[in-house]
Chains A and B, each alone.
Chain A
Amino acid sequence: DQQVKQNSPSLSVQEGRISILNCDYTNSMFDYFLWYKKYPAEGPTFLISISSIKDKNEDGRFTVFLNKSAKHLSLHIVPSQPGDSAVYFCAASGSDSWGKLQFGAGTQVVVTP
């Protein structure tokens, strides 16, 4: 069963605009959420994370928002740059299964000039 879902397989955005990536989860035991970025022929690179005790975490151009009641999180990238073109994965873990990351299927982001 897919406990982490990214329902948008692709997103196209203009350079300089905001990219918003969404992720939904079903397991209420998840208490830590991460976003990874993946370029072709490379492994996923950690971007930003958020604990369930927070509802927002910001790091430079990247902000993650968590809505626990809706079991939904989103990643905002502002402003989007051509180098942001990659596949973005949402992942989740819980204290009952520490170290086991469950990933969504990913969203392909294309930033156009």
Chain B
Amino acid sequence: DAGVTQSPTHLIKTRGQQVTLRCSPKSGHDTVSWYQQALGQGPQFIFQYYEEEERQRGNFPDRFSGHQFPNYSSELNVNALLLGDSALYLCASSVQGISYEQYFGPGTRLTVT
């Protein structure tokens, strides 16, 4: 039973560019949440997708957007990259309305130069 998978593992982008990160949830899970973890900090909630809609959003600008597909996989898009967007981006999956526990993927390390 595959857990949460994310791609790519590492990514280097230039300031002003756009990036797309991908996530496949754990089998049987229907909800995907995205988090940003800066160095030395805990993960910060970006947004959550369920039934292909954004259900909740954290305190992140509109440059951060996402999508969920019918197979429950998800993408995180970041436009007009800033140096401060350099971080580990974590995807977590869960079952809507059943349990608070979220299961995390290994993350994508984004470096903006």
Interface residues of A (CB under 8 A from B): 4, 6, 32, 34, 36, 41-46, 49, 89, 91, 93, 97-106
Report the minimum CB–CB distance from A32 to chain B (whole Å): 4
A43-B104, A46-B101 as given contacts; A105 in contact with B41, CB under 8 Å = yes
Q: Number of B interface residues at 8 Å Cβ cutoff, please give it.
A: 28
Interface residues of B (CB under 8 A from A): 4, 31, 33, 35, 40-45, 48, 50, 55-56, 58, 90, 92, 94, 96-97, 100-107
CB within 8 A of A43: which of B4, B58, B101? B4
- What separation, in Å, do the CA atoms of A89 and B40 have in the docked complex? 12
Is the CB–CB distance between A100 and B100 below 8 Å?
Answer: no
CB within 8 A of B42: which of A41, A45, A97, A105? A105
A41-B106, A42-B106, A43-B4 as given contacts; A100 in contact with B45, CB under 8 Å = yes
> Which residues of A are found within 8 Å of B58, using beta-carbon distances?
100
16 contacts between A and B (CB under 8 A): A34-B100, A42-B106, A43-B90, A43-B92, A43-B104, A45-B104, A46-B102, A49-B101, A98-B97, A99-B33, A99-B56, A100-B48, A101-B33, A101-B35, A101-B100, A105-B42
